[in-house]
Amino acid sequence: MDAVKANEKDAYALDLVRRMDELFAVDREAREAKVSVATRAEWRRERSVAIVAGIKARLESKPGDVLPQSQAGKGVRYGLGQWQRLVRFLEYPEIELSNNLAESSMRPTVLGRKNWIHVGSVEAGPKVAAILSVMESCRRMGVPVREYLGDVLPGLGDRKVSEVAELTPSAWLKRRRA
């Protein structure tokens, strides 16, 4: 996107943006159709895998006129360097293609940051971020936060690190439905 902003006629960057738009279109269609996670996974296998392969091939065949320090060059390096993370959504259909939802849900925290600047210590930041992440996960999954925290927090200090996966909101919700 930055390469297109820098040069609206950059055919290489425009092609990559068009291909990414195709990926987002698949997920948008699934979201609008309110399909299950399993159906979304199937749609991604049927449609997104080929688009992703085309994007990777395009990144790897970077034209010689793309300068390494240009916006397009930086984008190519970033895309290839983060490739395993970028395609994780193909393995896990519950993962959103974009982080827009996460960023939007954090907006109140970012806006309130100045109000909390003198609360706690430097070490408090990552802890607060983890708590807010858990609470947002609960909200998105429809997990009652008070019930979840009431079940998970008592005895938390006595748990082993290997048991943490059993304490996530999604694991808690599965146990409740069983």
Last residue of one domain, picked from the residues 91, 122, 153: 91
Whether residue 111 sits in one domain with residue 34: no
Mean predicted lDDT score pLDDT of the chain:
83
Q: What is the pLDDT of residue 113?
A: 61
* Residue 158 pLDDT greater than 80, yes or no: yes
Q: What is the pLDDT of residue 117?
A: 60
pLDDT in tens, 68-126: 777 778 877 888 888 998 888 898 888 888 766 666 666 666 666 665 565 667 677 77
Helix extents (H) in the chain: 2-6, 11-33, 37-43, 49-60, 71-81, 83-86, 88-91, 100-112, 124-141, 145-152, 169-177
Q: What is the pLDDT of residue 144?
A: 93
Domain that holds residue 69: 2-91
Q: What is the pLDDT of residue 95?
A: 83
Whether residue 155 sits in one domain with residue 104: yes
